[in-house]
Structure 1
Amino acid sequence: MKLLKPTYLLRTLLLLCAVAVVSSACERNETQSLSDKLDHMIANRQVYDCQKEQRIAELRHLLSVSGLTPAQEYEINDRLFGEFHKYKLDSAIRYMERNVLLARRLGDRRKGCLSGIRLAELYSSTGMSIEAKRMLDSIDRRSVPRDMLATYYKAYNRFYQQYVAFSGQRHFRELEERYQDSVIMFADTVSVRYKLDRLYQMSRRNQSHEMEVRLLGFLNSLEPDSQLYAECAYSVGSFYRRRGDDWLARKYYMLSAMTDIRNSTKENAAFQALATLYYRHDDLFRAFRYTQAAVEDALFSNVQFRTVQMSELYSIIIASHQAKESRTKHKLQHYLVLISVLSAVLVLLFVYLYKQLRRVYRIKEELSQTNAKLARLNEELGEKNEQLSDSNAVKVQYIARFFDLCSMYIDKMDDYRKSLKKLAQDRKFDELNRRLKSTSMLEDEQDELYKNFDAIFLNLYPSFVEDFNALLTEDERIVLKQEDLLNKELRIYALLRLGITDSVKIASFLRCSLSTVYNYRTKVRNKAAISREEFEKMVMKIGTAHKTDV
């Protein structure tokens, strides 16, 4: 036989432990969710009670119809008993007493037996033990139909069960169990009630997994909102409580209690069981809540049996709850003193912090003002640096171009000198004289100078024409000829942009009169789209953001 490795066994064990932990956590979360839902339903019980009261009002209205036969009245009273049974026992007793009389009037032995048995059960539940025993003894066992014997013995079983609770005489437990055996013996074995009673009886002695499966399977086969579902869920909860699994017991007791609330069943046992479990686990808040709900239901329906059962537990839970509240109150007083001291300290700290914050605020204000000044100075410095950078760029490019032009003009002058020298050597004095008198060379060189100037300037400020036109009104913008780079107006402002503001120098460079320069400047300012004073300032800023090298 091949042995399993220790590591495999360890992994299997850890996996089983993990599954068990996860399963337990899921069950606890489900129980907590059910607990919250049950608390909500307890707070809103009147909604379900109103629905029941509406059904009762409709049945009562049927009784007011004239001309009812005794048999019809019996049937309506029987339906009212069904509504009041486990809801308001006093009203159920009233309608069942009336049915006992109607059954006698009708001479119906079966209805007489059934009404008497039901009335005895109601007397027993309200603490009227003598009347209940008298009523049961008045029913001849031999006159009870066989299919009603289980109901007959069930009434005796409940009588002794409740009598033990009222009187405390435990020796009647034997009679209670005997009558329970008789109920099982004569019950209809195919009825759901028989199966439930039989399972409950067996589960009290058998705690096996098989019994657990049978109970849960039977519970799942029932209608979720039926009275039988509530009783079966209670039986499942009692099964788990006897087995020691209080978490699962709580779950099924809660399912039973929620079904009872939906059906407005005031004669219930689930709240009492829940209160006992929560008290055992020292959750006094929920124990008190469920005890209070159980007592309120018992008092509302006048079920003395349940009231007696809850009285002792209620007093214990109330005492424990009050003791816990007293301890909590004592702790709260200590906490209140501590909080008061801490509050005083916090107030002092707040005052200190407030003063410190005021100082910090003043310092921040001063720093803000200083930063603002620094920002302005940095901005001015940046503008100056930009201007210096602009000037340096212009200087560098002009110096380079200046040397190129000087070299070019020296070469031209040397060529011109050589041509004149040759004419003199060749004794062509007429041609020499004609050349000396001609101004065409000067004009050509002047045109060449302007072309070089235009090219250099537009290389430095490529968008000058567009930016300059943007400062003029739309209908006064300058349109150049196709072969021109700049005209005279633009050259004047190009020189201004380069920092040559002296009109005399501008006139000398452009070889025109001073008045011509003034006239051009005035004419262009009049075409400006902005104020005349701001026009030349804006011209001086053209191209500062995009200069290129030669």
Structure 2
Amino acid sequence: MTKHHYLLFITLVVFTSNCIAQNINADSMLTVLKKELTRKSIYDAKKENTIKQLKSRLEKKQNHNAAIRYNLCNQIFDCYRAYKFDSAFVYANKMIDIARESNNYTKETKSRILLGTILLNSGLYKEAFDVVEKLDPEKLSVALRSDYLILRGRLYSGIAEYNNDGYFTRLYQKQSKQDLKHAEITVASTEFEQTITDAYLPDSKRDKKLTPQFYYQYLTSHKLSEHGIAMSSTRLSFAYHGNNKVFFLALAAINDLRSATKETLAIFLLGKELYRQNRTSEAYLFMQEAVKNAKFYGARNREVQIESLLPAVANKLLAEKQYEKDRFVIVLLVIFIIALVLFFTLVIYRTQLLRIKANEKTITDQNIELKQVNEKLWESSRIKEELIGLFLKTCSTYIDTLDRAKRKILHSVKLGKFNEIKPLLDDVHIDREKEHLYETLDNAFLKIFPNFISSFNLLLSPEDQIWPKRGEALNPTLRIFALMRLGIHELPTVAKILGYSESTIYTYKIRVKAKALIQGPDFEKSIMDIKFIDVSE
């Protein structure tokens, strides 16, 4: 199964499921038809390739017996029969000549009936009647007599439609009905043909199951050729109206395209029905396709019939487009007037709006500045609270320590145990206490600024970054900038707190600033921008 046939199968499945619903989806079928129109050249090329192969086989069989040549001509005729009249005419005559050469009256008669059929399709009614008059129905077999009567019935029907005369048309239509009725009596209808015919029965006499949905499933469930589906769908379309009629005509037109049928009535009838439903744009599209097919095939009567209606469709389409254009212009004009009024209204209020916006911006800027000031005050307040708390706690600890040492020394003095005083003083380790103090300050600082170390190192290139050693909270360099973040910038103060000389502190700061990614005052600003975290939250 090719990709195209697989997609066709999926489409049929989808449509079948839709048919089970209340209404047949005519619009979906029209969508498929429009897509198939874009593939028309592919189907035509396939038909031409088939004909080319058959002609090549016929050329190689020129010296073979008449039966082989007749069958090949018959196959080529079948390809041309609904595709191109001129070529079909040539091969119908070849079939007659071959049958006459072999004295096969049955094949000759069959070929003449086929010739009459394509003459009828092309609108050559006189020539078709000439063919019919040369045939003797009494000498024909049952099957051929039925074909003969059908051809003659169609001829009378076609000439009645062509003449469109109040008197003769009725006579031709009467003769047509008689011939078609006799043809039906001559060869009994098959179950399939009878089921299709039952669609024309009045509602009171027709089986309730014979709905459009039933007929769609009925057509797709039988192993019909694409041309067979097209012909059956066209017949069914005459039994319906509205969307059901559109559905079956679209189905017929789709299968006509896929079978490369140019002698087609379906797409023209579809255009007429859509025109009647005021779907002019689609009607014009399909009627244009119908006239192309008629010209390609050589259906003179159909071409005249379509071209007599096509100008009316085109005029209506132009009128609709002009109406849409006029309506668009009116709408555009109304929109322009409204826009003009709005423009002048906006101009009137623009100055006021600008003033209001300017005032709002001033207020917003002041609020932002005030918020920033408040945040800094709040941050400063919180830092001071933390540091004061730390200071009081540390001082309290050292006071307790001094008090205990004082008591022990006084006790030793009273007892005259002066030799015990030196060990007590030796227990006081100033360096150790200083390191403990730094550690306490470091931990307290990192509680307030937990991201300080990482944020600080983002200001340095990777190879110059400063990280504390394992076990350290902060190292001396980081402490210098930690004090800066706390707002302590004076060198003497920093040097006194850290126990370094001012020149040492200055050297540390200069070295780090020289390696910073941000130079100048912006570096110190970036230090001050490191986020404060409220430890009480």
Structure 1 length as normaliser, TM-score? 0.69
Counterpart Cα distance in 2 of 1:417 and 1:453: 26
- The 5 Å alignment of 1:505-516 reads none
Aligned to 1:33: 28
Displacement of 1:361 in angstroms is 9.9
| 1:404-423 paired onto structure 2 within 5 Å | 404-405=400-401, 407-420=403-416
Distance 1:184 1:353 in 2: 86
Shift of 1:227: 1.9
Cα distance change of structure 1 residues 135 and 547 upon mapping to structure 2, 3 Å threshold: closer
CA distance in 2 between partners of 1:376 and 1:108 (Å)? 112
For the pair 1:110 / 2:141, whether they are aligned, the reply is no
Shift in Å, 1:105: 2.2
- Percent of aligned positions with the same letter in both sequences? 17
Shift of residue 156, structure 1, vs aligned partner: 0.7
1:103–1:331 distance in 2 versus 1, CA, 3 Å: same
Q: Displacement of 1:70 after TM fit?
A: 6.5
Summarize the alignment of residues 40-59 of structure 1 with structure 2, pairs less than 5 Å apart: 40-59=35-54
Change (3 A) 1:216 1:388: closer
* 1:296 Cα offset (Å): 2.1
Contact 2:142-2:187 within 8 A present in 1 as well: no
Query: 1:91-102 counterparts in 2 under 5 A?
Result: 91-102=87-98
1:92 CA displacement = 0.9
**Structure-to-structure mapping, 1:174-185, within 5 angstroms:** 174-185=174-185
2:123 to 115, 124, 127: 127
* Aligned AA (1:154): I
Are residues 137 and 377 of structure 1, via their aligned partners in 2, closer, same or farther at CA, if it must alter by over 3 Å? same
Deviations 1:212-236 (A, max 9, x none): 1675564244235432222222233
Partner of 1:317: 313
User: Which residue in the other structure is 1:282 paired with?
Assistant: 278
SS at structure 2 position matched to 1:448: coil
Residues 271 and 283 in structure 2, CA contact (< 8 A), matched pair in contact too: yes
Residues 370-399 of structure 1: CA deviation (Å, up to 9, x unaligned): 788778767865775466345413431244
Cα deviations by residue, 1:444-483 (Å, 9 ceiling, x for unpaired)? 225336388358626623669x999xx9x99xx9999xxx
1:114 Cα deviation (Å)? 0.8
Q: Does 1:249 align with 2:259?
A: no
Q: Is the contact between residue 224 and residue 259 of structure 1 (CA under 8 Å) also seen in structure 2?
A: no
What is the Cα deviation at residue 249 of structure 1? 2.6
Task: Kindly indicate whether the alpha-carbon contact (under 8 Å) linking 1:526 and 1:532 is maintained by their aligned counterparts in 2.
Answer: no
Structure 1 match to 2:163: 167
1:321-374 per-position Cα deviation (integer Å, ceiling 9, x unaligned) = 233233223223323434555676788899999999999999999899878877
Q: State the Cα distance separating 1:113 from its structure 2 match.
A: 0.5
- Name 1:186's counterpart in structure 2: 186
**Uncovered stretches (5+) of structure 1, i.e. residues with no partner:** 1-21, 421-431, 510-516
Contact kept? 1:85, 1:92, Cα under 8 Å: yes
Contact persistence 1:127–1:166 (CA under 8 A): no
Alpha-carbon offset, residue 152 of structure 1: 1.3
- In 2 relative to 1, CA 84–400 (structure 1 residues): closer, same or farther, beyond 3 Å? same
Cα distance in 1 for residues equivalent to 2:58 and 2:353: 82
Partner Cα distance (1:201, 1:255) in 2: 18
Contact conserved, 1:233 with 1:252, CA < 8 A, in 2? yes
Is the alpha carbon distance of 1:225 and 1:332 closer, same or farther for their aligned partners in structure 2, counting shifts above 3 Å?
farther
Distance 2:175 2:152 in 1: 9
Q: C-alpha displacement at 1:196, in angstroms?
A: 4.6
User: Is the 2:19–2:216 contact (alpha carbons within 8 Å) kept by the matching residues of 1?
Assistant: no
Deviations 1:206-265 (A, max 9, x none): 432347167556424423543222222223333333xxxx22332222211111110011
Contact 2:233 2:248 in 1 (8 A): yes
Measured after TM superposition, the shift of residue 527 of structure 1 is 12
Give CA deviations for 1:162-181 in whole Å, capped at 9, x if unaligned.
Answer: 11121122321111111111
Mapped pair 1:229 → 2:209? no
Displacement after TM superposition at 1:151 (Å): 1.1
1:23 and 1:344 map into 2 onto residues whose CA distance is 51
* Deviations 1:188-210, CA, capped at 9 Å, x for gaps: 65xxxx44544444432343234
Contact 1:203 1:211 in 2 (8 A): no
Distance 1:321 1:502 in 2: 95
Alignment of 1:325-404 (within 5 A): 325-338=321-334, 341=337, 381=377, 384-385=380-381, 388-389=384-385, 391-404=387-400
Between the aligned partners of 1:164 and 1:41, the Cα distance in structure 2 is 34
Aligned residue in 2 for 1:428: none
User: In structure 1, which of residues 55, 62, 65 is the aligned counterpart of residue 57 of structure 2?
Assistant: 62
How many angstroms does 1:153 deviate by? 1.2
Offset of 1:78 from its aligned partner? 1.5
Which residue number corresponds to residue 445 of structure 1? 425
Instruction: Tell me which residue corresponds to 2:210.
Output: 212
So what's the TM-score if we normalise by structure 2?
A: 0.70
Residue number in structure 1 paired with 2:441: 461
Equivalent residues of 1:125, 1:162 under 8 A apart: no
Query: In 2 relative to 1, CA 388–162 (structure 1 residues): closer, same or farther, beyond 3 Å?
Result: same
Q: Contact (CA 8 Å) 2:24, 2:243: kept in 1 or not?
A: no
Amino acid of the structure 2 residue aligned with 1:404: D
The answer to whether the 8 Å contact 1:165/1:309 transfers is: no
Residue 285 of structure 1, CA deviation? 1.5
Aligned-CA RMSD value: 5.0
Please give the secondary structure, in 2, of the residue aligned with 1:531. helix
Name the SS of the counterpart of 1:239 in structure 2: coil
Distance 2:60 2:341 in 1: 78
Is this contact kept in 1: 2:146–2:186, CA < 8 A? Answer: yes
* 5+ long unaligned stretches in structure 2: 1-16, 447-451, 458-463, 516-523
Q: Which moved further from structure 2: 230-239 or 313-322?
A: 313-322
